[in-house]
Amino acid sequence: MKTSDMLLPLELQLWAQAEGLAAQSTPLAQLTRVAQACLPTPAGQEVVCEWRLQSHLRHPDTLKQLWLHLQARLSVAQTCQRCLSPMPLLLEVDRHFRFVADEATALAEDDDCEEDLLSPSPDLTLQSLLEDELLLAMPLIPRHDRCDSPIERAQEPDLPHPFAALAGLKLSQP
């Protein structure tokens, strides 16, 4: 599958009947929504997302159990919300999707199944699916397991107290 094919709608039924399989590397720059949520990559370094998408039919006789299995792996950097330093993140996606007739069916069956339910849509592209899942794999608040926060650094004894000069001015007035 060419990268330009990522923008085309997935023809799910035809692809699934052929037991479609695609595995590729896609540069982060082409995954624009994901790239916007990450720190810029250093000059001369290209970050790529390795992904694999496979389709299959669980009950080929009825053609009603269309499934996709998406696996993706991407290393990016985000800002730690504790120390405000860059931190590396490994985003990994391993999701199974089952397609149902419509959104109402997806909502009705969602509580009773472990897989993710999707309804076929002309807007569904491989790129949008991949970007959605990578964004969902990002932490809500990126932070190191252990880091020196700005508050901890400000409480170190060798740093002057920010209001010490004001206290001196207040004491000098009659």
Compute the distance between CA of residue 73 and CA of residue 7 in angstroms, rounded to an integer.
20
Compute the distance between CA of residue 76 and CA of residue 39 in angstroms, rounded to an integer.
8
pLDDT at 3: 42
- Residue range 137-143: average pLDDT? 93
**pLDDT (tens digit per residue) in 41-56:** 888 888 999 999 888 7
CB 70 within 8 A of CB 131: no
Compute the distance between CA of residue 167 and CA of residue 159 in angstroms, rounded to an integer.
16
- Between CA 7 and CA 137, with CA 29 as vertex, the angle to 5 degrees is 80
pLDDT at 87: 92
**pLDDT (tens digit per residue) in 81-136:** 888 899 999 999 999 988 877 788 878 887 888 888 887 777 778 888 899 999 99
**pLDDT (tens digit per residue) in 53-96:** 888 777 655 556 778 899 999 999 999 988 889 999 999 999 99
pLDDT confidence band for 15 (50 / 70 / 90)? low
pLDDT at 8 over 60: no
pLDDT at 155 over 70: no
Exposed / middle / buried, residue 76 (Cβ in 10 Å: 0-12, 13-18, 19+): buried
Q: Where do the domains of the chain lie?
A: 3-148
The pTM score is 0.73
